[in-house]
Structure 1
């Protein structure tokens, strides 16, 4: 999923800037004010606690699912889903 204005192409630049400022690996919180598809939050979840926001409720729900997907499992269903 991509939006016009997606920041995925500049993630390495953002990471380099944060590294130069000494802001990685500090147990900080990353606030993604315009989450959109969640590409920035998904990328930086390895470094920070994440807070997402967007004017579109769909974007917040989609981004939350994308960010938290590795924590989801289907064990509670008591049967093989796939």
Structure 2
């Protein structure tokens, strides 16, 4: 069973689009219904895969998500203040 970190990029119709951390060109599509009850766009997820490569489960890495959101917010503020 393999585990990887992904960012929930967006919900697109019936799918959740996950982007692999460290390899942003790699995306996975998961049925929206498997994540939408607890994961929001922008959340960082620890995703577990079955041996056959199918989705098993995911959990939100809340501390890492909060840190990333703060970093992005700080960067936006810094850019606003340069103008």
TM-score normalised by length of structure 1:
0.26
Which has a greater percent of helix? 1
TM-score normalised by length of structure 2:
0.26
Which has a greater percent of strand? 2
